[in-house]
Amino acid sequence: MLRRSGSPVVGSDLARRLDVSRQVIVQDIALLRARGHRILATPRGYLMLDDRPLASTQVACRHTSLEEMEDELSTIVELGGTAIDVVVEHPLYGEIRGLLMLKTREDVRSFVARMRASGAEPLSRLTKGVHLHTLGAPDEAILQKIREALRAKGYLLEGQEGGEASAPV
């Protein structure tokens, strides 16, 4: 089911479809991971990653409003990228990472709607808007277009020319 879905599947939905408990799903996911399957637990459910190599990079960004966050994430996905995560550097806890796995405009809309509905704040609130994103894309050319668009919109922190590392994930 995870392989066919291509998008996150909520564990309780899997349990209901398979007529088992949520705990059975948690244990089975652990077993699948132990066998080498790449399965992420995202805020929207379990996601099975395929084996296609992606180009990836980490970019430093800054924005201060929820509207800017939505625009930043939409820019990434509309150009063919995936917003894999968000990272902030906390003075006490160190690095705090939130898994995003946003691939489509609908993913972004849903994420922002859930944030608004829950009253949650973006992690970047902890750092006056400064944060890192790990981005994935089918190739480096798409990552470059994303960097250029983020720079043009004023979200990309300057001084990053050539500073991003790209590698398969």
Strand-pairing partners, residue 57, are 135
Residue 64 lies in a domain: yes
Based on the domain organization, do 94 and 136 belong to the same domain? yes
* pLDDT (0 to 100) of residue 161: 44
Pairing of strands 130-137, 39-42: unpaired
How many domains are there within the chain?
A: 2
pLDDT beyond 80 at 53: no
Based on the domain organization, do 85 and 13 belong to the same domain? no
State the SS3 of 50-110. CCCCCEEEEEEEECCCHHHHHHHHHHHHHCCCEEEEEEEEECCCEEEEEEEEECCHHHHHH
Residue 127 lies in a domain: yes
Based on the domain organization, do 68 and 143 belong to the same domain? yes
**CB neighbour class for 34 (10 Å; exposed up to 12, middle 13-18, buried from 19):** exposed
**Whole-structure pTM over 0.85, yes or no?**
no
Q: How far apart are CA 102 and CA 109, in angstroms?
A: 10
- Return the number of other C-beta atoms located less than 10 Å from residue 143's C-beta: 24
Per residue in 78-105, pLDDT tens?
999 999 999 988 888 888 898 898 999 9
Residue 157 lies in a domain: no
Q: Which domain holds residue 8?
A: 2-48
Based on the domain organization, do 26 and 104 belong to the same domain? no
Based on the domain organization, do 112 and 32 belong to the same domain? no
Based on the domain organization, do 112 and 88 belong to the same domain? yes
pLDDT beyond 90 at 153: yes
Based on the domain organization, do 21 and 81 belong to the same domain? no
Which residues lie closer than 8 Å to 6 by C-beta, 6 or more apart? none
Tokens 């691939």 appear where?
103
pLDDT beyond 70 at 40: yes
* SS3 state at 23: helix
Residue 168 lies in a domain: no
- Return the number of other C-beta atoms located less than 10 Å from residue 111's C-beta: 19
Q: How far apart are CA 2 and CA 21, in angstroms?
A: 17
Based on the domain organization, do 122 and 89 belong to the same domain? yes
Based on the domain organization, do 96 and 139 belong to the same domain? yes
Based on the domain organization, do 110 and 125 belong to the same domain? yes
